[in-house]
Amino acid sequence: MTFIVLLLALLAERFLLDQRDWRKTDWFQRYYLALAHHPQGGWITSRFWGPAAVLTPALAAVALFQWFVGDSLGGIPAFLFGLAVLIYCLGPDDLDNQATDFLYAQERGEQEKARLAAAKLCDGEPADSPAGLVRQVREAILYQSNRRIFGVIFWFLILGPLGAALYRMSRYLLQTQEETGSEEFFQGRQRLVFILDWVPTRALVLAFALAGNFENTLEAWRRWERQRPAEFRGEEAQGLLIQAGNGALMIQDEDDEEANSAQVEAALSLVWRSLTVWLVILGLLTLIF
């Protein structure tokens, strides 16, 4: 059942739906800001454990409905609920469409449009040079694939609709305005996402290895582990996925001037091959168990 839900959700995500139109996230922003500006809510958003408290009401509603439908009516309500939640939690933007928009602008020499397309994908300010933009977009595809697809899928497999909602709302919370919470609250948000990302990130790196250059991927992973600071630095999944993905693609991190549009296409292809690896393994496990 879970495997079928996952396949249908990915098909809908990829081919059938204009997802952004109905994946509204403003409800979460309104809820969070109302809580942050409320006298009692402000106390919550000043604590390290505050992120868990902020997410609890919405997650409790998902868990309650998940428990309520259970196996009633042959499991059809649970099937439809899981499908709806998973489709909603994937994304919210389409990785392939955004990368294609960037490539189209690059090919036409429309640098400003290429920078705008890159800004939708990348963390931070887009680079000024075409080669720098290509590198940023290539790397963004690698780490955004976890945030938009693989992280959601992993937690859906573990906890069902509750897991998908937990991952997506934790990501939403990480994007909320930093000034509305204390430094402790901000660190709590980072720590929560770090915990949720730890296993799926490494599972994705293994998929990169199977879908790309196996030896280079594992060597890049080992190199990243050796260079990783001992203290907690927040979004560490991003650095691991960039290094491992570059290894799978046999790209040197410092080769900025060698960056070209073909590398963006190769990164996209690596992501879809890695997704196929996950699906094949999950399908085999479904048949066995």
Mean pLDDT of 171-180: 76
Share of the chain above pLDDT 70, in %: 92
Query: Scanning the structure block, which residue is given the tokens 């800004």?
Result: 119
pLDDT tens digits along 106-139: 988 898 999 999 999 998 888 888 888 999 999 9
Nearest Cα to Cα of residue 224 among 208, 200, 242: 242
Answer yes or no: is pLDDT of 179 > 60. no
Query: Scanning the structure block, which residue is given the tokens 């549009």?
Result: 261
**Separation between Cα atoms, residue 262 and residue 36, nearest integer Å:** 45
Name the average pLDDT for the chain.
89
Q: What is the CA radius of gyration of the chain?
A: 20
* Total structural domains within the chain: 1
User: Which residues lie closer than 8 Å to 65 by C-beta, 6 or more apart?
Assistant: 81
Give me the amino acid identity at 149.
Answer: I
Please tell me the predicted confidence (pLDDT) of residue 114: 93
Structure tokens at 60: 């409790």
Domain holding 26, by residue range, is 2-288
Answer yes or no: is pLDDT of 79 > 70. yes
Nearest Cα to Cα of residue 81 among 145, 23, 9: 9
pLDDT tens digits along 81-111: 999 999 999 988 889 999 999 999 998 889 8
Please tell me the predicted confidence (pLDDT) of residue 196: 96
Structure tokens at 288: 């066995």
**Separation between Cα atoms, residue 161 and residue 83, nearest integer Å:** 8
pLDDT band at 181 (very low <50, low <70, confident <90, very high): low
Please tell me the predicted confidence (pLDDT) of residue 100: 94
Q: What is the DSSP letter of 17?
A: -
Question: How would you classify residue 123: left for phi > 0, otherwise alpha for psi between -120 and 50, otherwise beta?
Answer: beta
Mean pLDDT of 167-180: 82
pLDDT tens digits along 6-65: 999 999 888 776 656 667 778 888 888 888 887 777 778 888 888 999 999 999 999 999
pLDDT band at 257 (very low <50, low <70, confident <90, very high): low
